[in-house]
Structures are given as structure tokens and as C-alpha cells.
């Protein structure tokens, strides 16, 4: 049974991803600052897998190290790490405070770095492992009102490249860069009218479901993706595929 860590699995994309892996027989540890979504029980799943929660702030470097070491000590192996926990605050550049910007970078970028960094010794000792993370289309575009968030996600894409180059061939890395996904994060920031406006700008005419991102993670962690490393996978219903100006 593989041991899989997913950060931010109490909600949204992380929750769908943890359930996807557990359904296909993996032992999944959810590292999240908040308890699992209401109605989600810890324990075994149909399909043979298991999900449990450890309370953790991924911005706490030493806390992440201790949690990763503990999971490894208990399970004896660490196969896949999915650094997914993230936050976003919508604000113009002139409204941005130091505290907010540091928190975004601490959670979204340092949180990925800490989780991956502390998983590496365990994976190298075993001779294999897969490091995955949730980036965003925001990491490669200047989406207005998200300066700190955009920068954090560009940083995640960069970590994905460097970890792959330094740690291949034993460890593979990959990021999923979603476009708009209908999760509590989106619902917290947008009214229904704004969500509809976003849908109209996406060629697929809708948001992704969290399960559609989970399926991509499941593929990237599988032997079928054995030659995939160091790359970012955009999953955005063609949002970023086209030109923005019509002639
Ligand atoms: P969400 O708010 O539904 O879930 C985020 C989870 O991360 C929550 O369970 C939250 O408690 C956890 N979390 C937040 N801060 C944490 C911390 N410091 N330590 C541990 N856990 C923490 O959001 P989501 O939409 O599922 O987002 C998941 C990831 O996907 C994020 O990295 C986000 O940036 C990224 N993403 C989301 C979208 C989207 O449209 N929803 C698009 C692109 C990328």
C-alpha cells in the first residue's frame, strides 16, 4: 500500500485528491490547518485505502519536518507527496500589506518547499518517490488583483523544475496548474454573478470540478507517468490556450 501525503485535503481540490487516491487503495495522510470537511470520516475507504488527518500549518517549517518524519516512521515508506494547501486574497497592489503578502508566500511557496524538502531524504533512501504540487495558471500570467498569489505560484513551478533536475532519476516532480475550479476558495471570493462571468471567459464555459484535478494528480503519481518530470500541467478548459485579442 502506497503512503501518500496531501496537504490541504480538508477541502476542495485536496479533499477530492485524497479521496481519489484512497479509493484506489492508498494510505493517505491529510496535513491541514483545519479539520476535514463536515461528513468526511477518517479511516478506511472502499477500495482498500485509508484517510487520516494531522493538524498542521504548512508554513511551519519545523512542524512540517516533524509531521513528514512521523508519517514515515509510522508507515515505513513515503511514496507520493502532493503539496496542495494554498490561500489567496483578492486585493489591488496598493491595498497589499506586508503581513498578507508574507502569509501568501509562506503558505503557498514555503509550504511546498518545506513539504518537498523534508520528504526527499526518505524518498532517496528508498530510491524512489514522486513530488507533486498544485500550482495555478496564475503563475504564468499577470492576473490583476493577485500579485502575491501569482508570484507564489510562479515559484512553485520553479521548484518543480529544480527539484526534478537535482533529484532525477530517483525522484520525479510535476505540478498541476488549474484554471478556475469550483471549490470553497472560489466561492469565498466570487459572487454567483462573478463566477458566471468567469465561465463566459473559459472556452469550456464552466469551472473544473475538484475531481477533474484529482484525476490528473492520480495519473501523475502513477507508473503510466514514469517519464514525466519537472513539468507543469495546465488543466484549464482552454482558458489560457487562446489569444486575448480578436482581429
Ligand atoms: P480550498 O480553500 O477549498 O482548500 C484549501 C485547503 O488548504 C483548505 O483545507 C485549507 O484549510 C488548507 N490550508 C490553507 N492554509 C493552510 C496552511 N497554512 N496549512 C495547512 N493547510 C492549509 O481551496 P482549493 O481551491 O481547493 O485550493 C487548493 C489549491 O489549489 C491551492 O493551492 C490553490 O491555490 C490552488 N488552486 C485553486 C484554484 C481554484 O480555482 N480553486 C485554481 C488554481 C489553483
Q: Does the beta carbon of 59 sit less than 6 angstroms from any atom of ligand 1?
A: yes
Q: How far apart are CA 105 and CA 99, in angstroms?
A: 10
Mean per-residue pLDDT pooled into runs of 10, the chain (247 residues): 97 97 97 91 91 97 98 98 97 96 98 98 98 98 96 98 98 98 88 91 95 98 98 96 74
- Structure confidence at residue 246 (pLDDT): 64
- Structure confidence at residue 37 (pLDDT): 84
- Structure confidence at residue 188 (pLDDT): 84
Q: How far apart are CA 35 and CA 55, in angstroms?
A: 7
Yes or no: say if 6 and 67 are a contact pair by the CB < 8 Å rule: no
> Is residue 243 helix, strand or coil?
coil
* 222: Cβ contacts below 8 Å, ≥ 6 apart: none
Across the strands, what pairs with 83? 133
Complex ipTM more than 0.85, yes or no: yes
Q: Clarify whether 149 is annotated catalytic.
A: yes
Architecture of domain 3-234: 3-Layer(aba) Sandwich (3.40)
Q: Where are the domains of the chain?
A: 3-234
Q: Which residue has a Cα nearest atom 18 of ligand 1? A: 57
- Structure confidence at residue 163 (pLDDT): 98
Distance between Cα 32 and ligand 1 center (Å)? 10
Cell match 515505513: residue? Answer: 76
Cis peptide before 169 (omega within 30 of 0): yes
Chain centre distance of CA 131: 10
Cell match 504548512: residue? Answer: 58
Across the strands, what pairs with 30? 6, 53
- Structure confidence at residue 185 (pLDDT): 84
For a ligand 1 pocket test, name from 8, 15, 64 the mutation site with the most ligand atoms within 8 angstroms of its C-beta.
Answer: 8
Q: Does the beta carbon of 213 sit less than 6 angstroms from any atom of ligand 1?
A: no
- Structure confidence at residue 247 (pLDDT): 67
Q: How far apart are CA 200 and CA 20, in angstroms?
A: 29
Q: What are phi and psi of 29, to 5 degrees?
A: -110, 120
Distance between Cα 171 and ligand 1 center (Å)? 25
Distance between Cα 111 and ligand 1 center (Å)? 12
DSSP 8-state code for residue 131: E
Amino acid at each position: 500500500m502506497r503512503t501518500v501525503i496531501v496537504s490541504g485535503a480538508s477541502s476542495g481540490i485536496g479533499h477530492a485528491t485524497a479521496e481519489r487516491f484512497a479509493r484506489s487503495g492508498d494510505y493517505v495522510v491529510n496535513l491541514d490547518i483545519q479539520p476535514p470537511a463536515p461528513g468526511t470520516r477518517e479511516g478506511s475507504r472502499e477500495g482498500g485505502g485509508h484517510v487520516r488527518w494531522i493538524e498542521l500549518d504548512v508554513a511551519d517549517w519545523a512542524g512540517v519536518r516533524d509531521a513528514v518524519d512521523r508519517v514515515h516512521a509510522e508507515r515505513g515508506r513515503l511514496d507520493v507527496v502532493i503539496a496542495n494547501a494554498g490561500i489567496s486574497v483578492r486585493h489591488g497592489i496598493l491595498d497589499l500589506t506586508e503581513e498578507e503578502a508574507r502569509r501568501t508566500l509562506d503558505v503557498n511557496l514555503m509550504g511546498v518547499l518545506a513539504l518537498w524538502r523534508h520528504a526527499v531524504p526518505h524518498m532517496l533512501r528508498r530510491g524512489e518517490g514522486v513530488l507533486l504540487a498544485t500550482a495555478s495558471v496564475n503563475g504564468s500570467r499577470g492576473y490583476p488583483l493577485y500579485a502575491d498569489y501569482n508570484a507564489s505560484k510562479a515559484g512553485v513551478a520553479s521548484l518543480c523544475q529544480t527539484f526534478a533536475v537535482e533529484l532525477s532519476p530517483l525522484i520525479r516532480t510535476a505540478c498541476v496548474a488549474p484554471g478556475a475550479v469550483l471549490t470553497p476558495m472560489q466561492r469565498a471570493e466570487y459572487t454567483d454573478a462573478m463566477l458566471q462571468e468567469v465561465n463566459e471567459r473559459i472556452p469550456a464555459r464552466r469551472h473544473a470540478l475538484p475531481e477533474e484535478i484529482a484525476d490528473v494528480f492520480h495519473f501523475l503519481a502513477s507508473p503510466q507517468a514514469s517519464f514525466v518530470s519537472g513539468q507543469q500541467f495546465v488543466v484549464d478548459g482552454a482558458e489560457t490556450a487562446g489569444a486575448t485579442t480578436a482581429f
